[in-house]
Amino acid sequence: MRKRAWRAPFIMLIAGLTVAGAAVANNDGALRGHGGPVKSVAISPDGKGALTGSFDYSMIYWRLDEEPARIGSRISDHDGAVNGARFVPGADQAVTASDDGSVALWDLSSGALIHRFKGHTHKVVSVAVTRDGRWAASAAWDRTVRLWDLKAMKPGPVLEGHDNTVNAVVFSNDGQFVYSAGYNGEIRQWKVAGGEPVRTVYKHGWGINVMAGTGHGFHLLFGSLDGSVGMVELASGQLVRTLHRFERPVLSLTSLPEHNTVAAGSGDGFIYVWDTVSWKAKYQHQFTEGPVWALAFSGDGKGMYFGGLDDHVAYWQMDPDRPFEVAQSEAPRRFQKSEGLDPGERQFARKCSICHSLGADHANRAGPSLIGVFGRKVGTVPGYAYSASLKGADFVWNEHTIDRLFAEGPEKFVPGTKMPLQKMSKQDERLALINYLKRATKGEAQKDTSQSGG
């Protein structure tokens, strides 16, 4: 088994590289263009395209058949993070699942919305598509799985029975069944036609985050909160193999049956790759910058695309083994631990820079630019799609309101906001952040963290 530790490259994100058709991959194979952490990645069956979903509310369709890879289309019409994206077999289309509670069908050539499916009442965290492209299934934190008819563009059955959040969904090879799993640790089987429950296949002692098939249809892989990667025999419902136990939860799982390989990524930054003939680990890789939320093999099985806290999707060439070409930048990455940062700048990097920049342009970010935020009425940056709650709010951003935002938490301070939970209980940390923002939003900060892609 080959082992390698890698420190994520420090890349300056250039706005001109994010337009459709622009080249956004260097010779290190990374895909650059998002303005926030990457939540999902999928490779087309022919290996010529990729889909990436991000915390910046967008999905990007990449043309991998060109050198360097380029953006074919960018879709930014969700009102929340894009947690999943899948190609629709036999069509130039993709399906996305989002924190905004919707599932959407897109035309990849134009980037146009074909249809938006609504029905979930909480964030949708996983999506799958049958091999014939007829059905999509979505798993959500409203404790349901929903089926969607992609041909008729109509909602299908609602699968109810989980007593907690549902995190993962997978179709059987023939498309007749769908399997779901979630926080209660149960893997359930349902009929696609009619949506009737079939059985509880397996009960794990911990919550299940992700699932993947092995290709032949006899087994199902799962990744759990307890760090275990397990394989269940579908016929018997028995756990027949535990591939590994990470120190942190398993956050991503992928398989490439035609090359007899599966892989898992964890919260402690590790990726393991196994040979499904011997079930021995072939490679181990440590992504030191944080959790691995997204994994997908390249079409030829010789490499791996993966994503996490950084704005780009990294590429790991496994066969033949090639050293990473690390690109350097003077600006630190958002999540790089730096002893030299001002305390307020450190809080901005950790709490704010995922969504907000300190530059004039807020393109490809989940939130608007913070330039000129002090003294600005809430919800008034031109061109930004605010939530209804912020549009209807009537206050001005100042030291007092920003302090309340982080002391109480966004969901309490402005109920209904799209802002994620970022609560700071320590008054000295809030004061340091406010003082830094007062300087930075006037262009007086020692370092502009937005130049790191944050």
Task: Please give the Cα distance from 238 to 83 (Å, whole number).
Answer: 30
With cut-offs at 50, 70 and 90, classify the pLDDT of residue 35.
confident
The DSSP bridge pattern shows strands 261-266 and 250-256 to be antiparallel
**Under a CB-based contact definition with an 8 Å cutoff, are residues 62 and 54 in contact?**
no
- Would you call the peptide bond into 343 cis, given omega within 30 degrees of 0 as the criterion? no
User: What distances in angstroms separate CA 420 from CA 339, 414, 417, 423, 431, one per listed residue?
Assistant: 26, 11, 8, 9, 20
pLDDT on residue 362: 57
Minimum mean pLDDT range among 98-107, 113-122, 269-278, 405-414: 405-414
Partner residues linked to 155 by β-bridges:
148
Over residues 80-95, the mean pLDDT reads 96
Neighbours of 103 (CB within 10 A): 25
Element (H, E) at 116: strand 113-117
* SS3 category, 139: strand
Taking only the tens place, the pLDDT of each residue in 55-85 is 989 999 999 999 889 999 999 889 889 999 9
Burial class of residue 435 (count of CB atoms within 10 Å of its CB; 0-12, 13-18, 19+): middle
Torsion of CA 276, 281, 286, 291, to 10 degrees: 40
Instruction: Give me the architecture of the 343-441 domain, per CATH.
Output: Orthogonal Bundle (1.10)
Task: Please give the Cα distance from 210 to 208 (Å, whole number).
Answer: 6
Task: Please give the Cα distance from 327 to 322 (Å, whole number).
Answer: 15
Length of the chain: 454
Give the chain's mean pLDDT. 86
CATH class label, 31-317: mainly beta
Element (H, E) at 272: strand 270-275
Task: Please give the Cα distance from 454 to 335 (Å, whole number).
Answer: 9
- Residue intervals in the chain for CATH 2.130.10.10: 31-317
- Residue intervals in the chain for CATH 1.10.760.10: 343-441
